[in-house]
Chain A
């Protein structure tokens, strides 16, 4: 912008007598203002800036002296020469006016220089204006009083909670309330079917060790699709699951160990997991029922090695990895899983690509279909399996697009397949619209299911998420449809 100003004003600048004056002004406009001089980066260029500042200051002083040297004491001092040449009183009067005008202009320029010089000096000394010690003390006392008042306001006479043996303890959580209407071909039902309160605890034990737990206090009436034509809500059940509980050892960002019960590090939505960040509380079909293992376990009890490396010329991109082993259900010694994930994130495009693998063994156990799910939390077959999958996330500007696909090679049983695509669009800071196509073949001799979900999220503040979603489900066997309308709100703190 400053160069543009320079090009515009260059032709109109006076050549004499204030040539250097004008150029100094131009330099000031073009970023060499006192403010700009005081704002040079604190790297190796500081010495150059100081020299330039000194040079400019000297130039200003020289120009000031030069102007003062050339300035006539009065307009009359220059008149006789002019009069003798022109021989006319009117011409002399005109010249007199011109000289007066020039004189006035130069005086204004000198005043400007004085003000600019004073400003340069004050910026250089870093004391504009100087405070007296008493004023400074008074200001600092005011500042301290404000801080004490702020602390009093927040704490007052209340007891301060602290961890027994840790550097810090943070507590948070969220509440989700859902209302659902299930519409079958033969009958429909509606219910305020879920109240989920989860408590999140994190403690920094020392420099390297931290602890995190998520405890659920859930009151749920599961929506049962055993008969798709007659969906129904079961009786309320009070559940207090330990959702997560892990300790983490951080050697470096690239190498960390985690022990306990953790989210199975697969794909996108299972890792995000919690309702405060989900567009829809009901995750894709292969992740239902909650805490199940329709394709792979949502959670693993065991340990994992994980980390992150920053790559690229500026380290803006990242490579994340997880390698884990553990059990889905500790009651069955054979119920074992091991796997890994590798993901690359390109920060400039907002794109993340991941590949996933898991080897495991399923142990058959009786279980009814879970909430919103066509399968139960346990497998109906006993076999080993190998799951491979890939995921793609694009989160850039208004677009939030999640995609995952998995194929499970089931040893001696029907293979299982799952895939979804969920494009979301941020209408503004508060509204997000999304659609999800979700296919799941759960194997085990059960029916395939296709689910279409259209929804809208409203976030009056980032910690409150209100959702409306319409589900349209196609069942393969028996070939039938059903619909669900669900409203939910999540409040996190």
Chain B
């Protein structure tokens, strides 16, 4: 009897863990590009290339398409996840980077687009476009998911 009760209690804890696990599930984001951009590589390389393209250290994709990166507002959760997981920089480091780039080449940070719908339209418009969106928003025939990441 006691053994049965013990197991019941533990099963209850397991069920609680199930709810906890689903409730705390990490959010997922996607780096999206134009559907016609066929660039692909190993996950680590793609992440590195996207970082360099976004920071304007590279001006073209490895398949020679001129890049057009789009950013998100600083308080956007997708942008913050992108900072942590792909750029691996703090907001201050990123701001310092753009000040340095501006002085050396006159280039500025990618234009910030707040709305997913507008962002997806712009991604679909430019062959070299690049942006990050929440996974559930990455639904369009004209875009391709380059890779996804959790935060």
Contact = CB atoms under 8 A, between A and B. Distances in A.
Is B a genuine binding partner of A?
yes
B10 to A, nearest CB: 4
A36 B10 contact: no
Interface string B27-39: 0101000000000
Contact of B18 (A38, A43, A112): A112
A28 B103 contact: no
Contacts of B44: 313-314
A399 to B, nearest CB: 13
Interface in B109-151: 114-115, 117-118, 135-136, 139, 145, 147-148, 150
B17 A462 contact: no
A29 B103 contact: no
B8 A101 contact: yes
Contacts of B90: 429
Contacts of A101: 4-5, 8
B66 A207 contact: yes
B25 A36 contact: yes
A200 interface: yes
Given A39-B28, A41-B147, A314-B44, A277 B100 contact: yes
Interface stretch (A8-16, A70-78, A404-412): A8-16
A429 B7 contact: no
Interface stretch (A268-276, A297-305, A336-344): A268-276
A129 interface: no
Given A172-B102, A212-B106, A272-B100, A252 B10 contact: no
B29 to A, nearest CB: 10
A137 interface: no
B22 A202 contact: no
B32 to A, nearest CB: 10
A200 B98 CA distance: 14
A143 interface: yes
Contacts of B148: 39, 41-42
Given A25-B14, A202-B107, A276-B103, A463 B8 contact: no
B14 A202 contact: no
Interface of A, helix, strand, loop or mixed by DSSP: mixed
A462 B92 contact: yes
A315 B22 contact: no
Contacts of B8: 101, 105
Interface residues of A, number: 64
Given A22-B14, A272-B103, A39 B135 contact: yes
Nearest to B106: A202
B18 A25 contact: yes
Contacts of B11: 13-14, 18, 22, 105
Given A29-B18, A253-B58, A314-B44, A42 B7 contact: no
B10 A29 contact: no
A28 B22 CA distance: 8
A272 B93 CA distance: 16
A126 interface: yes
Given A13-B10, A41-B147, A429-B90, A310 B58 contact: yes
Given A13-B10, A35-B25, A276-B103, A462 B96 contact: yes
A129 B92 CA distance: 38
A210 B108 CA distance: 13
A119 B147 CA distance: 25
B18 A28 contact: yes
A277 B60 contact: no
5 contacts: A12-B6, A42-B145, A42-B148, A212-B106, A272-B103
- A-B pairs with lowest CB-CB distance, top 5: A202-B106, A462-B95, A35-B25, A12-B10, A274-B103
